[in-house]
Structure 1
Amino acid sequence: MSNLSVMAMKEATDLTWSQLRQQRRYLKEAGLLMPSESKQRQAMEDLAADNIVTQMVDFVDSYGQTHRAAFGRVTNITTFVTKLLEQHKLHKTLTWHNSTISHDEVWVKFGGDHGKDSLKFTMQIANTHKPN
């Protein structure tokens, strides 16, 4: 399995690193090899590059209890979107949906979700073949 496949699986199944290590053992017994955890973590850092900063932060819940949790932020949204657009251009995945989107525009959609005890924000470039 490639690093990107493992990252996608980890995200889709909401596995912790510990659970992923256990999953790696099961898959190895079945003859499917995954990259090492250090290679996966390095791939995640490379993907985030210098535009995403992550850290552990103390949060206070509605009951006044403090909880330590991961926090991530994009340091420069313009650079982040530009790099994403460059990747889409490189892989020829940009489209203007039969002129539904003007040829001189790029549509970027931002969203948010509060669930699983955290707040998550999403960003999506609509000028792709399968934007969802």
Structure 2
Amino acid sequence: MYLIYMYLGSIGVTFSSERAMRKRQNVLLNDNLRGSLVPLVFNSDKASGHNGVELRDVPFVTVKNLSSMILDYLDRHDLYGSLNWHDGVIPKDEVWIKVGGDKGGKSFKLSFQIVNTHYPNSLQINVVFACFEPNDSIANLQTVLPPVLEQVSQLTGHKWRDKTLRLFLFGDYELLTCDARYCCLYCTTSKDNMRLPITERATATPRTMQSILQSYKAYEADGSVKARSKDVSHSIIAKPIIDIATDHVSRTN
């Protein structure tokens, strides 16, 4: 039966469940997807590689208009009565949106979650809006993400009816931080300081978007030498890929 099903599918015959699924996809996506091949860096032991890496064209799929997609989902949640302001935790004139990335299986996915729902951390309300094949190295993220994150940045202050969208960012440790002496996203404490008991730790300066940009300028002024970044820029060696306050960022592990 399975082989018959596969054969009929190969010649264009669809079944009611498939037609219903595709109809549902068309309603939700509303021609809002685009795809392209992008050259990304992969580890390689092939003779054609260079210094252990190779460039490979991989498919990258994303939505064309993220804000319209989120507003559409808000309309649908409102229609079905599933919006929730969690007893005043979320101000009544705000809608909170979490956006983040995660590498799982054979793909790296960017997704959003509407926090103003009954179960904001449920997988059922996690909506993927961009996807590409790993690996998720910094070089690859800097190649793929800027156009998408530009859309994400535009969400801040966006309006849904009479309510303002407030943006939060989430991700795993590798996405949000680095393996350096000053690896903390939130302050300038060092690895050595973090190993000490809390009562023995030296006071650290909180990081802000402004201080991160100032540190990056210091890194550039020093000649962009990574080996000296720990001494001149608290390990900052690149501009933030998205403009968002550090207190709106959370790690998922």
TM bucket (normalised to shorter chain) is: 0.5 to 0.7
SS in 1 for 2:110: strand
**Deviation per CA, 1:90-129, whole angstroms, max 9, x where unpaired?**
0010110000000000000011111223210110000001
Which blocks of at least 5 consecutive residues in structure 2 are unaligned?
7-14, 45-53, 122-253
Counterpart for residue 66 of structure 1: 56
Please report how far the alpha carbon of residue 53 of structure 1 lies from its aligned counterpart in structure 2 after TM superposition.
1.1
Alignment partners' CA distance in 2, 1:107 and 1:113: 20
Counterpart for residue 109 of structure 2: 120
Q: Percent identity?
A: 33
- Consecutive aligned runs of 4 or more in structure 1 exceeding 6 Å deviation: none
Counterpart for residue 35 of structure 1: 16
Aligned pairs for 1:1-132 (under 5 A) are 35-50=16-31, 52-55=32-35, 57=37, 60=40, 61-63=42-44, 64=54, 66=56, 68-69=58-59, 71-132=60-121
- Alignment RMSD (CA, Å): 2.6
Alignment partners' CA distance in 2, 1:83 and 1:35: 26
Please report how far the alpha carbon of residue 58 of structure 1 lies from its aligned counterpart in structure 2 after TM superposition.
5.7
Q: Tell me the amino acid that sits aligned with residue 78 of structure 1.
A: S
Alignment partners' CA distance in 1, 2:96 and 2:30: 23
TM-score, reference length from structure 2: 0.35
Q: Tell me the amino acid that sits aligned with residue 56 of structure 2.
A: T
Which blocks of at least 5 consecutive residues in structure 1 are unaligned?
1-17, 23-33
TM-score, reference length from structure 1: 0.62
Alignment partners' CA distance in 2, 1:62 and 1:45: 37
Alignment partners' CA distance in 2, 1:73 and 1:113: 15
TM-aligned CA distance change 1:68 to 1:36, over 3 Å:
farther
TM-aligned CA distance change 1:113 to 1:83, over 3 Å:
same
TM-aligned CA distance change 1:72 to 1:128, over 3 Å:
same
TM-aligned CA distance change 1:42 to 1:68, over 3 Å:
farther
Alignment partners' CA distance in 2, 1:43 and 1:55: 20
**Deviation per CA, 1:3-31, whole angstroms, max 9, x where unpaired?**
xxxxxxxxxxxxxxx9xx67xxxxxxxxx
Task: Give the total of aligned pairs.
Answer: 100
Alignment partners' CA distance in 2, 1:42 and 1:127: 27
- The structure that has the greater radius of gyration is 2
